[in-house]
Amino acid sequence: MNGFKKFLMQGNVIDLAVAVVIGAAFNSIVQSFVADLLTPLISAFGGLPDFSSLKVTVGQSNFMYGNLINALISFLLIAGVVYFLVVKPYTHIKERAAAKVESKTRDCPECLSEIPKPASRCAFCSAEVAPV
């Protein structure tokens, strides 16, 4: 029981729980934006009051493909926001941090072991190398 308690109190588990709650709240905002503002605006050009009313009836079954269109628009909006506000900045920061870290080692020309750049002799094969 102690291990489970320790697992739950780790920072990344709590961060993940907060992210899920905020993601659910953001999802409801995007759903409302799509259903109440965006799809009526788009469908105004097509003459329909709302995509959610679009359906195909086969026998006794109704296939509400308008709801699917709303869901696809919501997904694309959420994916775009996540990409441009989370993934792209994180990738940029990560690339900048990686560029700052310059390698302090080089390969020995004889044994191909990693040695420090200012070394004049390889610690593995004792070959003389020119310092960089």
> Residue 53 is part of a domain; what is its CATH number?
1.10.1200.120
Structural domains in the chain (count): 2
* Separation CA 71–CA 48 (nearest Å): 17
Residue 77 sits in the same domain as residue 125: no
Q: Where are the beta strands (DSSP E) in the chain?
A: 56-58, 61-63, 105-107, 114-116
Whether the model pTM is above 0.85 = no
Q: What is the pLDDT along the chain (132 residues), one digit of tens a residue?
A: 778 777 767 767 777 888 888 888 888 888 888 778 877 777 777 666 667 778 888 999 988 888 888 788 888 888 888 888 888 998 898 888 877 767 788 899 999 999 998 889 998 998 999 887
Nearest partner of 28 among 78, 67, 62, 64, judged by Cα: 78
- What range defines the domain where residue 118 resides? 104-132
